């Protein structure tokens, strides 16, 4: 994929398709469906035979989708796509019995990726991240969140965020950037976590002024930061009008989800050790629960997130790849959806909603994730009989055609 797009006219008709609109609580299926887009927006959705005469007169261009199934474009709402190096050696160590915590204490884990990232040029970081983004895009991903967190200095965090912004400018995919300076304590701040958090808070206004940050994230964990330290980061984010997210309750129950919900967090992610108080707080705030089955699998965890309790409470559930070199080195959002079903018990409809409707909400982007008038014209066409196959096949599924903002990717 070279990132080029086909020039787009104004009013386009996309027809001869079966639509899975995801409108309402079900699949929202429409046979013999059609869409009309006006620039980057959908302006009409329905059966082709019901197309209003007044609208047909304004069609500038017509596209036959060949009977393919069309769904909203997929959304990967949690990735760490910009980094240097890899951590295959740690994979071997874990298979031999080493724990995540012991590897981190020995200087591995996030710190090893920080060293490799700092040693990489901005161009190399961009080229590697572009390769990863293109793999995700081939599966129909049209929106992508990219976190920093492997620089852990102002200059290096800014570099990573600039790379993420550049990806969104260079590729036909929407990119949201998240500042994750509170990912780990870098070596130069050993034993001075509070001082490092103060530095992270000081970086937020500079990064925000440069237009590099859409949201602020943190890692609340025994190997990372306490709830009180995370609170300081969130207060700094709120002071600059930035929404927050949180890596929460992944390996221990920290109370981080409840804290994040008190700041109206867009999402709380991982959540294997989420308790009832956290669920209630997330429900009250409208925070999305982002599940990461790939990391759960790769780290060979046994504590599952409380999916049934989240479902009963009505907390929206999203699923993401969490692509990173340490705990989730995968690049298939569809495999993550499959794992969410097989490992966590999601139903296929829930899994597809988790990588469309609810993933959009986890990014604060309510203009995408469904095929309805007024939404952004992001959609993918598939050679599949039913949309439940997006969560069924473990590999080999590729989008046949992808439209981003009303423009078809070449």
Q: What is the pLDDT of residues 9-66, one digit of tens each?
A: 589 999 999 999 999 999 999 999 999 999 999 999 999 999 998 888 889 999 999 9
User: Buried (b) or exposed (e) across 317-348, using 16+ Cβ within 10 A?
Assistant: bbbbbbbbbbbbbbbbbbbbbbbbbebbebeb
Q: How far out from the chain centre does Cα 198 lie?
A: 27
Go through the domains of the chain in sequence order and give each one's CATH number: 11-72+370-408 (2.30.40.10), 74-362 (3.20.20.140)
Asked if residues 242 and 215 have their Cβ atoms less than 8 Å apart, the reply is yes
Q: How many CB atoms neighbour CB 52 within 10 A? A: 10
Asked if residues 270 and 247 have their Cβ atoms less than 8 Å apart, the reply is yes
Instruction: Give the count of alpha carbons within 13 A of 249, CB side only.
Output: 28
**Which tokens hold the place of 192?**
């001075």
- In sequence order, the 6+-apart residues with CB closer than 8 A to the CB of 196 are 185, 186, 189
**What is the rounded CA–CA span in Å between residue 87 and residue 210?**
31
Q: Concatenated DSSP letters for 88-147?
A: HHHHHHHHTT--HHHHHHTT-THHHHHHHHHTS-HHHHHHHHHHHHHHHHHTTEEEEEEE
Q: What is the pLDDT of residues 352-406, one digit of tens each?
A: 999 999 999 999 999 999 999 999 999 999 999 999 999 999 999 999 999 999 9
Region of 396 (left: φ > 0; alpha: ψ -120 to 50; beta: rest) is: left
Model confidence at 410, pLDDT cuts 50, 70, 90, reads confident
**Which tokens hold the place of 13?**
């008709």
Q: Is the pLDDT of residue 3 over 70?
A: no
pLDDT at 222: 87
**What is the rounded CA–CA span in Å between residue 203 and residue 179?**
10
Name which of 397, 360, 358 is nearest 378 in CA terms: 360
Asked if residues 170 and 105 have their Cβ atoms less than 8 Å apart, the reply is no
Q: What percent of the chain has pLDDT over 90?
A: 89
Q: Which of 6-10, 43-47, 137-141, 184-188 has the lowest mean pLDDT?
A: 6-10
**What is the rounded CA–CA span in Å between residue 37 and residue 392?**
30
Region of 271 (left: φ > 0; alpha: ψ -120 to 50; beta: rest) is: left
Name the average pLDDT for the chain. 95
Place of tokens 């990232």: 117
- Three-state SS at 361: helix
More confident residue, 359 or 111: 359
Helices marked H in 264-332? 276-285, 293-298, 307-313
Write the burial class of residue 69 (CB in 10 Å: 0-12 exposed, 13-18 middle, 19+ buried). Answer: buried
Terminus-to-terminus CA distance in the chain, angstroms? 7
Question: Region 348-353: what's the mean pLDDT?
Answer: 98
Question: Region 285-295: what's the mean pLDDT?
Answer: 98
Question: Region 136-164: what's the mean pLDDT?
Answer: 98
- Bridge partners (DSSP) of residue 5 are 409
Indicate whether this model's pTM tops 0.75. yes
Name which of 67, 82, 172 is nearest 118 in CA terms: 82
| Main-chain dihedrals φ then ψ at residue 264, nearest 5 degrees | 55, 45
Instruction: Cite the beta strand spans of 183-333 per DSSP E.
Output: 215-218, 245-248, 267-270, 288-291, 317-319
Write the burial class of residue 230 (CB in 10 Å: 0-12 exposed, 13-18 middle, 19+ buried). Answer: buried
Place of tokens 């025994």: 222
Question: Region 255-273: what's the mean pLDDT?
Answer: 98
| Main-chain dihedrals φ then ψ at residue 339, nearest 5 degrees | -65, -35
**Which tokens hold the place of 212?**
């590099």
Q: Is the pLDDT of residue 187 over 50?
A: yes
Q: Is the pLDDT of residue 177 over 90?
A: yes
More confident residue, 184 or 104: 184
């Amino acid at each position: 994929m070279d990132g080029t797009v086909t020039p787009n006219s104004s009013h386009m008709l996309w027809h001869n398709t079966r639509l899975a609109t995801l409108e309402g609580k079900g699949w929202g299926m429409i046979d013999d469906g059609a869409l009309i887009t006006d620039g980057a927006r959908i302006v009409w959705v329905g059966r082709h035979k019901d197309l209003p005469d007044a609208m047909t007169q304004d069609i500038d261009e017509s596209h036959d989708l060949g009977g393919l199934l069309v769904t909203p474009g997929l959304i990967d709402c949690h990735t760490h796509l910009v980094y240097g190096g890899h951590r295959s050696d740690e994979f071997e160590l874990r298979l031999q019995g080493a724990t995540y915590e012991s590897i981190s204490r020995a200087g591995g884990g996030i710190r090893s990726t920080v060293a490799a990232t700092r040693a990489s040029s901005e161009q190399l970081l961009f080229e590697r991240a572009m390769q990863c983004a293109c793999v995700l895009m081939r599966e129909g991903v049209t929106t992508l969140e990219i976190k920093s967190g492997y620089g852990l200095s102002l200059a290096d965090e800014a570099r990573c965020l600039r790379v993420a912004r550049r990806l969104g400018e260079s590729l036909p995919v929407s990119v949201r950037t998240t500042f994750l300076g509170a990912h780990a304590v870098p070596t130069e701040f050993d034993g001075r976590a509070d001082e490092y958090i103060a530095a992270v808070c000081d970086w937020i206004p500079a990064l925000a002024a440069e237009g590099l940050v859409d949201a602020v994230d943190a890692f609340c964990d025994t190997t990372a930061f306490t709830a009180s330290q995370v609170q300081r980061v969130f207060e700094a984010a709120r002071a600059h009008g930035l929404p927050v997210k949180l890596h929460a309750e992944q390996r221990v129950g920290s109370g981080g989800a409840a804290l994040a919900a008190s700041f109206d967090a867009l999402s709380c992610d991982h959540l294997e050790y989420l308790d009832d108080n956290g669920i209630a707080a997330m429900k009250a705030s409208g925070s999305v629960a982002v599940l990461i089955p790939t990391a759960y699998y790769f780290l060979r965890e046994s504590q599952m997130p409380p999916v049934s309790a989240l479902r009963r409470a009505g907390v929206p559930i999203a699923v993401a790849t969490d692509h990173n070199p340490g705990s989730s080195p995968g690049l298939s959002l569809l495999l993550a959806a499959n794992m969410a079903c097989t490992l966590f018990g999601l139903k296929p409809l829930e899994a597809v909603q988790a990588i469309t409707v609810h993933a959009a909400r986890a990014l604060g982007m309510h203009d995408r994730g469904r095929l309805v008038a007024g939404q952004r014209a992001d959609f993918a066409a598939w050679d599949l009989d039913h949309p439940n196959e997006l969560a069924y096949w473990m590999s080999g599924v590729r989008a046949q055609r992808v439209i981003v903002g009303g423009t078809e990717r070449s």
